[in-house]
Amino acid sequence: MFLPRVPGFSLVGSVALLSSLFTATIALAQSVDSVKRIPIPNSDFPISGAVIVPPGYETIYLSGSIPQPVNVKATNPAEKFGDTKTQTISVMKQIEAALEKQQLSLSDVVMMHVYLVGDPAKDGHMDFAGMMAGYTQFFGTPEQPNKPARSAVQVAALAVPGAMVEIEVIAVRKRGVHAEPAGLK
């Protein structure tokens, strides 16, 4: 094979340049092909400022989940469901189980909406710190570093008296990577 001589370039230099271009092209193709999570500038807050999902992904919308009772015999709602942190952990475990049924995990969540009822123990204000104490056990951890875009708002009430937390999520997966999800036949 004939390679023309270019002043200032050696065969080794040309191979190195081609190798670098090839590697950069592969990296660019992979980055365009995967979900991109954009951090909030100058912040270590455990959510993404935005999440970009490229073409070729399926979107899965999970309905809102509310906590399971921690004490079914309790008559006081706070004793029945626990505090905001306890309720958040309960809801996150339910979401995790629902995602697993669809062959997904919390790392596939790209958007989350959190609805918090005012906590009577906090003069009717939402317990955002309690929600974050539960949330950070599932997102932004060394085991699961992916962070969704997220909103959290206070609402007047939820459908079940005593429930102070409802969370809905949107997750994505690459088309054709997983088998048919459960319940979608």
Q: What is the pLDDT along the chain (185 residues), one digit of tens a residue?
A: 454 555 554 555 544 444 544 444 444 444 568 999 999 999 999 999 999 999 999 999 999 999 999 999 999 888 999 999 999 999 999 999 999 999 999 999 999 999 999 999 999 999 999 999 999 999 999 999 999 999 999 999 999 999 999 999 999 999 987 655 555 54
DSSP state of 10: -
Strand intervals (E) in 31-148: 36-39, 48-52, 57-65, 109-117
- Tokens 């949107």 correspond to 170
Domain ranges of the chain: 57-174
The answer to whether the predicted template modeling score (pTM) of the entire model surpasses 0.85 is no
CATH superfamily of 57-174: RutC-like (3.30.1330.40)
Q: What is the pLDDT of residue 84?
A: 97
Q: What is the predicted pLDDT for the residue at 9?
A: 47
What is the phi/psi pair of residue 113, to 5°? -120, 125
pLDDT recorded at residue 180: 57
Determine the number of helices (DSSP H) and then strands (DSSP E) in the chain: 4, 6
What was the pLDDT predicted at 14?
A: 47
Residue type, 20: S
CA dist 63 and 156 (Å) reads 19
